[in-house]
């Protein structure tokens, strides 16, 4: 039987904090926190294994609020259970530089595991957490000692289930049998526009049963039913579980509960006063009684849980010291101490071989070299492994062996990328994911989230230009590289040969503060000879590949497959320098002296050449420079014919240089 609303004092603390904070900010979403308060009460006080005084404890359960607009639910929970998030912080909800932004943001309040807000990605991140937990557990746990053993709990709403990314991620979660993932669906029938039945009439239960999930139903306001459902969910170890919780949005608000009015707007002072009466809550705004704090406080319980795990880990370290040290290293995110030296040795080998091959093949060779050195790599491709060349000889699919290191994501570019973000956030892995560059578009928002959350996710994109040929304009990327380069905190590499490809992989792997996009060609690209000094400069993102003969009069800037065009033009010209710029983001980070040495300010005669949209390059060539590239979509034809047709040729580069130096 459901407890009367005015007797649910512990859960009601969430309701009042949510409505008070939203009212004070005059902005926000009180409906979801008030509707899900009873679910949160059961999950967080009875099941969630966490330690508020050490939010980074490795074996904590992960909690994801996929319907991130309900952020006050999570902030209230963090405050009440004892995290370093004060009442004053809640009073600063949605204000500049507060710990409580409008949506949960990684790195602001302790205990926030991922940034949510773009609906559907939270549940995809949660799938990534569960995948990482299962894989890490299979790699490190022993029959007698388990040191990786935790659940992922996810709250989600109607909006998350309407977003296509939820289908991609949840379908794969069922296939992979992620039994430690428990999702609570806030089935309140309301979205911003009103009652969802007019635009969302799916049979959600049948949908998730079809994915291979366990599906349970519970009254979202009945603690006993929620408890029983959660116990049943945890008992099912081979399937993820969706608990469909029938709830009333904004529960407690006499005039607005059950309506879209409370979804995304403050209740108003008059309605808040009535809600306090309905809840039997007599305290003023932002005042929580001591007995309520005591009921929520998770610090003692969390400290005991962590202490018990520490004992287990100590026993594990005594019996399996090598594995324990390796697990600690991987969870910390540190690379093996000798990795950089080994990577540099490999780059020297690549230079000595001087191969003319496609950079996608050079990428596979780099993976073959680096993969055995880095057991933390968890690769994957969206059904294009044979084209992206992301499989290397040590790859083992997680679908066959949970201790594997490769995920066959299927045709799920968006889901794949959002899951990889969850894997990175979990810790213990460096994920890479791959597709054709054109189909980055499907994954675009998850790529942005990698960058926003500063996660080391490596986005591998092959078939990088009109050079892929006959598949035509639907498959030929034009504007995608510019879009990636325009993304803050994302490094975008487009290497021109085997050496630059190997260096781009090294750069991506050592870069811990954000993601990298690696863009590789389908077609063979000529090897470029370099000195040791030039090889060292590649990592700076831009460098002088060919020094001018005589006095410097013009500069050609190129990337990827077009570097060879620049070099062919160079052979026909005097006073011209070729600058290869595989990663403009790294180049602009260099000091002014280095940038001036590569691109002297007094040389205004500049030509950029790249088989991608021209607009990116004006900032490097100036308005009086020239850019040879694409301004339209491609065509279906062999690559050589396309380059000729679109005027991306050696002759065009030579003519442009002559024109601006005349």
* Residue 153 DSSP SS3: strand
Decide: 592 and 498 in contact? Cβ < 8 Å. Answer: no
Closest CA to 120 of 454, 443, 453: 443
* Residue 543 DSSP SS3: strand
Q: Using CB atoms within 10 Å of the CB of residue 394, give its burial: 0 to 12 exposed, 13 to 18 middle, 19+ buried.
A: middle
Q: Check 163, 306, 413, 586 and give the catalytic one.
A: 413
Residues 6+ apart with CB under 8 A from 180: 130, 133, 134, 150, 151, 152, 237, 240
Decide: 553 and 575 in contact? Cβ < 8 Å. Answer: yes
Q: Is 168 a known active-site residue?
A: no
- The two three-digit tokens of residue 10, written as one number: 């512990």
- The two three-digit tokens of residue 116, written as one number: 């949510």
Query: How far does the chain reach from its first CA to its final CA, in angstroms?
Result: 88
* Residue 121 DSSP SS3: helix
With tokens 């070729």, the residue in question is 578
Distance of alpha carbon 619 from alpha carbon 625, whole angstroms: 10
**Alpha-carbon dihedral 380, 382, 383, 389, rounded to 10 degrees:** -50
With tokens 């781009």, the residue in question is 504
Distance of alpha carbon 515 from alpha carbon 458, whole angstroms: 6
Element (H, E) at 416: helix 413-426
Decide: 113 and 105 in contact? Cβ < 8 Å. Answer: no
Helix spans in 141-244 (H): 158-162, 164-175, 204-211, 223-235
Residues identified as active-site: 413
């Amino acid at each position: 039987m459901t407890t009367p609303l005015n007797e649910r004092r512990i859960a009601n603390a969430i309701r009042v904090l949510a409505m008070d904070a939203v009212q004070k900010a005059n902005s926000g979403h009180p409906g979801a926190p008030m509707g899900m308060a009873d679910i949160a009460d059961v999950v967080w006080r009875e099941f969630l294994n966490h330690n508020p005084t050490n939010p980074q404890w490795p074996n904590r359960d992960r909690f994801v609020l996929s319907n991130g607009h309900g952020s006050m639910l999570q902030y209230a929970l963090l405050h009440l259970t004892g995290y370093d998030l004060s009442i004053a912080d809640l009073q600063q909800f949605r204000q500049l530089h507060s710990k409580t932004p409008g949506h949960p943001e990684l790195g602001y309040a302790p205990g926030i595991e991922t940034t949510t807000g773009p609906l559907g990605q939270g549940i995809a991140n949660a799938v990534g957490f569960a995948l990482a937990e299962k894989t890490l557990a299979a790699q490190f746990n022993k029959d007698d000692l388990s040191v990786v053993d935790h659940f992922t709990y996810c709250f989600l709403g109607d909006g998350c289930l309407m977003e296509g990314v939820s289908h991609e991620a949840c379908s794969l979660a069922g296939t992979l049998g992620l039994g430690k993932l428990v999702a609570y669906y806030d089935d309140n029938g309301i979205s911003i526009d009103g009652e969802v039945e007019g635009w969302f009439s799916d049979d959600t239960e049948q949908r998730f049963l079809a994915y291979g999930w366990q599906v349970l139903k519970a009254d979202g306001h009945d603690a006993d039913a929620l408890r029983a459902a959660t116990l049943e969910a945890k008992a099912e170890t081979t399937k993820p579980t969706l608990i469909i919780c029938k709830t009333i949005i904004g529960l407690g608000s006499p005039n607005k509960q059950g309506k879209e009015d409370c979804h995304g707007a403050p209740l108003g002072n008059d309605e808040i006063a009535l809600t306090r009466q309905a809840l039997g809550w007599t305290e003023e705004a932002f005042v929580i009684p001591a007995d309520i704090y005591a009921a929520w406080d998770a610090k003692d319980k969390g400290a005991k849980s962590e202490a018990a795990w520490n004992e287990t880990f100590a026993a594990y370290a005594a019996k399996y010291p090598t594995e324990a040290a390796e697990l600690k290293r991987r969870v910390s995110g540190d690379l093996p101490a000798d990795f950089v030296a080994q990577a540099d040795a490999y780059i020297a080998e690549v230079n000595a071989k001087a191969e003319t091959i496609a950079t996608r093949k050079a990428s596979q060779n780099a993976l073959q070299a680096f993969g055995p050195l880095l057991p933390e790599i968890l690769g994957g491709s969206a059904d294009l492994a044979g084209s992206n060349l992301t499989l290397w000889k040590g790859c083992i699919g997680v679908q066959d062996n949970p201790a594997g290191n490769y995920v066959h994501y299927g045709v799920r570019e968006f889901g794949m990328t959002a899951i990889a973000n969850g894997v990175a956030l979990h810790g213990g892995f460096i994920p890479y994911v791959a597709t054709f560059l054109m189909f980055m578009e499907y994954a675009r928002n998850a790529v942005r989230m990698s960058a926003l959350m500063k996660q080391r996710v490596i986005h591998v994109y092959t078939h990088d230009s009109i050079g892929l040929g006959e598949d035509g304009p639907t498959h030929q990327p034009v504007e995608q590289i510019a879009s990636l380069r325009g993304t803050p905190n994302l490094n975008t590499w487009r290497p021109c040969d085997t050496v630059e490809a190997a260096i781009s992989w090294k750069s991506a792997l050592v870069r811990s503060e954000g993601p990298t996009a690696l863009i590789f060609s389908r077609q063979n690209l000529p090897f470029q000879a370099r000195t040791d000094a030039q090889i060292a400069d590649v990592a700076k993102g831009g460098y002088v590949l060919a020094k001018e003969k005589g006095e410097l009069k013009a500069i050609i800037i190129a990337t990827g497959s077009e570097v060879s065009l620049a070099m062919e033009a160079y052979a026909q010209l005097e006073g011209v320098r070729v600058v290869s710029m595989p990663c403009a983001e790294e180049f602009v980070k260099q000091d002014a002296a280095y940038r001036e040495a590569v691109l002297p300010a007094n040389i205004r005669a500049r030509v950029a050449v790249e088989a991608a949209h021209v607009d990116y390059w004006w900032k490097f060539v100036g308005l009086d420079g020239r850019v040879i590239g694409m301004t339209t979509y491609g065509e279906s034809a062999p690559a050589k014919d396309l380059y000729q047709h679109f005027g991306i040729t050696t002759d065009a580069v030579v003519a442009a240089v002559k024109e601006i130096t005349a």
